[in-house]
Chain A
Amino acid sequence: MVKVMLWGSLKPAAEGKAEIHVEASNVKQMLDAIGKAHPGLAPVLERGVSVAIDGQMHRVAGYEPLREDSEVYIFPRLEGG
């Protein structure tokens, strides 16, 4: 299963969990799965998030593939200057 790590202030929306495990083969499936399992996360996910997949940052990663053992971090959407 894919290991999904939330940033600290999202934990309350995920019933106190910082780490969630879901079945997903791409980022969209992963986001859909955690939004369904934890509806409190849905508004944040809908606003748009960036992700790091196995250490690689993606500002927007809709269908980026995931491995079964991928580690994904979810972040607020990256902005730049």
Chain B
Amino acid sequence: MLDKPNKPEKQKFNVVGTSPLRPDGVDKVTGRARFGADMVAPGMLVGKILRSPHAHARIRSIDVSKAEALSGVKAVVTKDDFNADAEDQDVLYNIMAREKALYDGHAVAAVAAISQSVARRALALIEVDYEVLPHVTDVDEAMKPDAPVLHDHIFTEGVEPKPTKPSNIAQRYEFGHGDVEEGFSEADVIVERNFKTAATHQGYIEPHACLANIANDGSGELWCCTQGHYMVRNTCASLLGIDVSRLRVTASEIGGGFGGKTTVFIEPVAAALSRKAGRPVKVVMSRNEVFRASGPTSSTSSRIKIGAKKDGTITAAESELNYQGGAFAGAPADLGAMCSFACYVLKNVRTIGYDVVTNRPKQAAYRAPGAPMAAFSVESVVEELAGKIGMDPIEFRIKNAAREGEKSSYGPKFRQVGLVETLEEAKAHPHYSAPLGPNQGRGVSCGFWFNFGGQTSTSLSINIDGTVALAVGTPDIGGSRASMCLMAAEELGIGYEQVRAIIADTSSLGYNDVTDGSRVTFASGKATIMAARDSIGKLCERAAKMWDISPDAVVWEEGHAKPAGANAGEFEPLSLAEIAASAESTGGPIAGHHEVNASGAGTSFATHIVDSEVDPETGRVQVTRYTVIQDAGKAVHPAYVEGQFQGGAAQGIGWAINEEYIYGEDGRLQNAGFLDYRIPVASDLPMIDTKIVEVPNLGHPYGVRGVGETSIVPPLAAIANSVSAAAGVRLTELPMSPPRVLKAIDENK
């Protein structure tokens, strides 16, 4: 769309904007909902995976003969059971080690057996001859010229001259404009600091689980918990070397994903075992495996420099961000660099990001991948700079805030955005002026995320009784079925409870991109609206046939077909149920469809306010008050929007205060379980207050923006700013665990 509309198509709503009960709620609270591990099949085998105990080792040989000979073992697979020419060679290598094991937990072989105990015994019988190699797990160490190199084929891209030696730096990205040196020379005050963040896990409660039932010819089915079952189908087909049409994948209910279930880990392994055994195989990761061998976030180190005039105008900003992405290239250094200063209009800005490989599991997306770490360091410096100038931190941000028509730090001009509105709401919020107690501090941070649309296929069928069956292909990870029902009901002019949504399997709809990028309420919602409009056109045609008038002379209003124009008032309006009841005699089933590669997703901004209390004796941090203010464009289901806001804040509290991957000198993960890797529990969290701002996204008929990711961008910095204020010293490393906070306090004395 080249021409910019000036308002959303629809602005008055009947059901959109209400918060009815979720359609999947009863199933979930009664235990009837089926998650990944709940799937069973007759003759099902247990699949288990042997994992490397070494951070970096050459695999000289794997002898599976003893395991294969064990009674009850039906199949053993190694790298040779996968398609060596698979399209994505990194995924091929990640799901089953090839020449080398690249991290503690890297899969090296797998078995399918008649029971857990037989499978475990079989794993113990597999003999792997490793040549242990030097390893590196820290991002700064991995970037050094003398670091152990993981891959001989990685030569840093994005630098001149092109390197002649391989290294662990896969890519250098640079964005920006203006003259930062000149900008810094104009500044009255400059703050420059270094920061570090630890790798964290998405912490979804449901481990990865799948059931594969593949015949020897490669055709079959997969059931799994995933954010994208079409992605699972296409990737597994490539890894197994079979046609896409041979696989049907069904997404189970999902117990959390947050980006961590946007790729495959066990699914192709279960499929390869099933194909070899000729029986169904179920693989369920243990929590230990989830930590060691799924996809946590990047850890980072960074340097930020910002200069400003005494009146609060930022004159120049610079960031250098190093992202540790695990054993394969692809850390979100590019996104982090693009996001780092996106909240501000800057005349002179330069952001640099490095994508670095290490002997850790390959990172995966985690809500707004790359952005929270960048925001942590940038927003910490912004807060400190405002303090040095003597300016209120929200006023400082408003003065420099991203606005419609202004050039973004990553290049293009912003369309309609709502950052200033969230800041104004924050300034006026009672939280911002509430008194603080002893040892308490307050912090603020803004955050930005792009959001996107993508490929979407949706089908809407009118049932004989006038109810509606809605089939979408985007797994529901945050209540999207309810939002889809609301949008379909809004278009059709019927009640929410008359629409029932399902997540269709891969053979039932056209391709759907993964549920990620905060895209589902936007893109799947857009497709739902268009499918409903398609069905309305057909409903009007049927009414026209029943009245024997032209379809052009029928309009759809308030859930009824009505004669219009010269025929207005000539016939009694026909309800959706009445037209549906006559479907057989008027032409057969009535359905609407829509397929699209949706564009027009609106970027999203948020502002968070946090109060923290620091115990000066122990260094323990307690978040005492939290307020999230975010632009949702249009909140389709406000309670779920608030839930997304609160969820991002809760995960951010864990990331900021407690969570971290801890590696030993041996390169092995030391805390692969929830006892030693501490995610927040209810007692760690205050009530998280929310305020929904609605600045419409003009790329959606209702003005919707994605909301699922932006909420995790500001928390790290907002909490760090509050803790720094409470402790009287700037905290620059996450997590702000008690020993780290205590050390900072002691060093500041």
Contact = CB atoms under 8 A, between A and B. Distances in A.
Contact of B410 (A64, A75, A80): A75
B368 A80 contact: yes
B312 interface: no
A9 B355 CA distance: 13
20 contacts: A8-B174, A52-B412, A55-B413, A56-B415, A57-B412, A57-B452, A57-B599, A75-B334, A75-B411, A76-B334, A78-B450, A78-B452, A80-B262, A80-B368, A80-B369, A81-B262, A81-B365, A81-B369, A81-B517, A81-B709
Given A78-B450, A80-B452, A81-B259, A59 B517 contact: yes
Nearest to B415: A55
B516 A56 contact: no
Contact of B2 (A8, A65, A78, A80): A65
Interface in A60-81: 60-61, 64-65, 67, 70-71, 73, 75-76, 78-81
Contacts of A76: 173, 334-335
A59 B454 contact: yes
Given A9-B159, A71-B412, 12 more contacts: A8-B173, A8-B176, A53-B2, A56-B699, A59-B453, A65-B2, A75-B338, A80-B368, A80-B519, A81-B260, A81-B262, A81-B709
A64 B174 CA distance: 26
Contacts of B453: 59
Contacts of A60: 454, 597
A78 to B, nearest CB: 5
Contacts of A58: 599
Contacts of A67: 2
B34 to A, nearest CB: 24
Interface of A: 5, 7-10, 12, 50, 52-61, 64-65, 67, 70-71, 73, 75-76, 78-81
A9 to B, nearest CB: 4
A5 B368 contact: no
B158 interface: yes
Given A80-B368, A80-B517, A64 B599 contact: yes
- Helix, strand, loop or mixed for chain A's interface? mixed
Interface string B562-604: 0000000000000000000000000000000000010111010
Contacts of B338: 75
Contacts of A54: 2, 412-413
Given A12-B160, A52-B411, A67-B2, A80 B259 contact: yes
B120 interface: no
Contacts of A70: 2
Contact of B174 (A7, A55, A78, A80): A7
A80 B518 contact: yes
Contacts of B334: 75-76
Interface in B1-51: 1-2
B73 to A, nearest CB: 38
A81 B516 contact: yes
Given A78-B450, A80-B368, A7 B709 contact: no
Contacts of B369: 79-81
A9 B172 contact: yes
The winner among A61, A70, A73 for most chain B CB atoms within 10 A is A73
Interface string B79-92: 00000000000000
Sorted from nearest, which 5 A-B pairs have the closest CB atoms?
A81-B259, A80-B517, A8-B174, A81-B365, A9-B158
Contacts of A8: 173-176, 350
Given A7-B175, A52-B411, A57-B603, A81 B159 contact: no
B418 interface: no
A79 B174 contact: no
A61 to B, nearest CB: 7
A53 B334 CA distance: 19
A66 to B, nearest CB: 8
A80 B412 contact: no
Interface in B325-372: 332, 334-335, 338, 350, 365-369
